[in-house]
A and B are shown apart, each in its own frame.
Chain A
């Protein structure tokens, strides 16, 4: 069975600090990878996705993620966070032969201090 782990439960940063959120998955086959964000009181929104090709993908709001197949990782990065990035971030994996069954990580809560 697939599983997704996220390295940090809660991350606290000051504005302008750099961000890296870890995500690892366990599945040996071909996967699609996603990062979703849930701002306070809002629904889940897609930040970025990886299906194939360039392992460095860019998403909205200055976020990017790198797929490292050998490490089963898909870490999320942003060079300079803003207070408005305060939210919960979820990594998700979809195995090619599992239809639209997304397996989500437990989430990382990011608090950005002004």
Chain B
């Protein structure tokens, strides 16, 4: 069974631009969560989608948004990029809402210059 895939793996953007990251969960998994990983703040929860609905949201500004499609694939969008948005963005999928372990993808490394 294929794991969680994320595209692109690396991205360089300029301040003020917007970016869209994509995540394909493990086949059969319906819950997709997004996390931001930085050296200073560690792993922080962004949001979770289940059956195309956002079920949980972390403490991030409205510039961070996401969506989930009917095939459970998910996208995350960041508008008006700031230097502080440079991070590894991780996607995780699980069978349902809980209690189930999450399986993580390799991440998208976003660098904002």
Contact = CB atoms under 8 A, between A and B. Distances in A.
Nearest to B4: A43
Contacts of A107: 42-43
Contacts of A84: none
Contact of B56 (A42, A43, A90, A98): A98
A105 B47 CA distance: 18
Contact of B94 (A44, A100, A104): A100
B101 A34 contact: yes
Contacts of A51: 99
A43 B107 contact: yes
Contacts of B100: 100
A107 B37 CA distance: 11
A103 B46 CA distance: 11
A49 B101 contact: yes
Interface residues of A, number: 23
A57 B86 CA distance: 36
A90 B92 CA distance: 15
B48 A100 contact: yes
Contact of A106 (B31, B33, B42, B105): B42
Contacts of B48: 99-101
Among B44, B56, B99, B105, residue most surrounded by chain A Cβ atoms (within 10 Å): B99
A10 B42 CA distance: 14
B111 interface: no
Contact of B98 (A36, A44, A99, A103): A99
A43 B4 CA distance: 10
Interface in B16-65: 31, 33, 35, 42-45, 48, 50, 55-56, 58
A20 B33 CA distance: 29
A8 interface: no
Contacts of B104: 36, 43-45
